[in-house]
Amino acid sequence: MVTRREFIRKASIAAGAITLTGLAQCRSGQAGSGNKPAGGRVIDAHIHLTPGKVKKALQAMEENSIRYAVVIASIAGSDPNLYVGDKAFYEILDSIKPYPNRLALHYTYDWSLAETDPEFFNKAPDMLEKAVNAGAIALKNLKQLGLVARDFEGKLIAIDDTRLFPIWERAEKLGIPVAFHTGDPVAFFKPWEPANERWDELKLHPEWSFSDRSKYPPLETLFEQANNVYRKFTGIRFVSVHVGGYSENLAAVSRWLDEIPNLSVDTAARIGELGKHPSQEGYDFFNKYRDRIMFGTDMAYWNECDVEGAGPCKDFTAEEIKKFYDIHWRYFQTRDKKFDHPTPIQGNWKIDGIGLNEEVAGKIYWDNAFRFYKLDRFGVA
């Protein structure tokens, strides 16, 4: 694997190439380093943030045309003592309160409570309502649900378990969107061995491997459970993050989007996978679902270090964060070939840009998240 410094240098050099399609046609040099997102303003609908990093996040947003960012989960503390749930939610909420037109937060359950508190299912809807009254703009369900979260009897809790229905009913009544992280990269469900295409990542995080079928359900089961919830609760706006958890299979995600009108997806930490598809296939997907896809990166500003979507945790410089965002603009706005993707640890391959036009890019960068989260109420502009 190339070092981060080499990676950045290569990306900058290649970015100078003039392309012949997409936006670059009317605005030469649109791609890559030193350039701007189409429309000049972006909502990053998927970041992570802990209270000590608010200033850094706001600065990075300012420098990268990110006018607004959605902190998609209440996860706080410092690794290895991260925590989710109420404590994290209220800590983060306090830290972003001064910036209502820049940052917002999802409420996130600590699913381990279902295993330790026999009353959890009864309490959960009120926990959500309290969080929404305090300022949560949505509910985010972490991937633990369906995969590892267990009830008081020690049984896995399926995503479409009826004991969770009162939570979704309350979300519908409160009028908030609900986000699901379902599954994980297909490779994480394949054997944990050096031949795995995401070996660099799995070696670093053995806990991300869900290949043991005696412990974890297959990926398809998780998708079907989540889809059952989307189908049943038609009054909720759902977002399935990380391209529905299935960026490897855009045909499947397309089928879900066709069938389930209240479903959207985001692009967080999946440019590497998306850019692996033939350019035209990626273009067709984004063009067809131009009103259902939100731009997100998974940029994480943790207390002790930052993570650029995936990979090492370190204090990234302003220049490095700019490179990270610039690769996204390059993917969406040019038809450049064979350049480095933003999350090198996810795999050692190159990606091709899809060259969306300015109108479609603008929907994905701005309009869709603005509408989904009703951001007019916060004076976001």
Contact residues: Zn ion, CB under 5 A: 298
Sign of CA dihedral 216, 141, 247, 298: negative
Integer CA distances (angstroms), 67 to 99, 358, 370, 375, in order: 11, 18, 11, 12
**Contacts of 213 by beta carbon, 8 Å cutoff, 6+ apart:** none
Nearest distance in Å: CB 242, Zn ion: 8
Nearest distance in Å: CB 72, Zn ion: 6
Q: Degrees (nearest 5) of the Cα angle 297, 237, 249?
A: 55
Nearer to Zn ion, 120 or 180 (CB): 180
Q: Among residues 6, 57, 80, which one has the least CA distance to residue 308?
A: 57
Nearer to Zn ion, 165 or 208 (CB): 208
Nearest distance in Å: CB 22, Zn ion: 28
Nearest distance in Å: CB 297, Zn ion: 9
Rg (CA), the chain: 20
Nearer to Zn ion, 125 or 309 (CB): 309
User: Of all residues in this chain, which one has the CB nearest to Zn ion in the complex?
Assistant: 298
Q: Among residues 141, 55, 51, which one has the least CA distance to residue 102?
A: 55
Nearer to Zn ion, 64 or 334 (CB): 64
Nearer to Zn ion, 298 or 326 (CB): 298
CB 307 within 8 A of CB 381: no
**Contacts of 170 by beta carbon, 8 Å cutoff, 6+ apart:** 125, 128, 129
Nearer to Zn ion, 75 or 364 (CB): 75
Q: What whole-number distance in Å separates Cα of residue 136 and Cα of residue 86?
A: 11
Nearest distance in Å: CB 46, Zn ion: 6
Nearest distance in Å: CB 82, Zn ion: 13
